[in-house]
Amino acid sequence: MRAVTADTEARTRALGAALGSSAVPGDVLALSGPLGSGKTTFVQGFARGAGFRGAVVSPSFGLARRYRAPTKTIHHLDLYRLADKDLPNLGLEEYFDDPRGVCLVEWPEIAAKALPPDRLEIRFDHAGERRRKLAFRALGGRARRLLRSLET
């Protein structure tokens, strides 16, 4: 497990951007952590890094938002408002099976069983008013490749 401290919001965005530029279709990132810990901020950086120029907001209405970047489609899912009973009918495969898709999932624990096994887990935590800790865990070869891109 690798952990990074982001002392500023810009640093969180930069970490997202680095992964967003390296991610390839089929990659899945599971972003866990409490409200305000920086998950959506990270996704905003990720979309920029992937070359998406429009606005990236939290998917407060509905489950997902889609951002079309030059070489991939980013699916930003936020499962926060879901209840267990909703899960069988969500059709999350629509996102995970998109051959152009890269999926970023906030509140992944709510649909743990529906997540692809190969995924990069990032745990966000508050470490001060303006400081966040990001802890990375790669589950599978795809996720390891993606995580290695942070090292270069």
Instruction: Rule CB under 6 A: say whether 132 interacts with ligand ADP.
Output: yes
**Number of residues located near ligand ADP, criterion CB under 6 A:** 18
Contacts by 19-22 with C-beta closer than 8 Å and gap 24+?
Answer: 19/46, 19/49, 19/120, 19/146, 19/149, 19/150, 20/45, 20/46, 20/47, 20/48, 20/49, 20/50, 20/69, 20/74, 21/49, 21/50, 21/51, 21/149, 22/146, 22/149
> Whole-angstrom Cα distance, residue 48 to residue 109?
26
Q: Which is nearer to ligand ADP, 37 or 73 (CB)?
A: 37
| Window of 19-27, 28-36, 115-123, 144-152 that interacts with ligand ADP by CB under 6 A | 28-36
Contact positions vs Mg ion (CB under 5 A) = 39-40, 58, 106
Element (DSSP H or E) covering residue 32: strand 28-32
| Window of 17-25, 66-74, 96-104, 130-138 that interacts with ligand ADP by CB under 6 A | 130-138
Instruction: Rule CB under 6 A: say whether 130 interacts with ligand ADP.
Output: yes
Contacting ligand ADP (CB under 6 A), which of 35, 60, 100, 144? 35
Contact residues for ligand ADP, defined by CB under 6 A: 6, 8-9, 11-12, 33, 35-41, 106, 124, 130-132
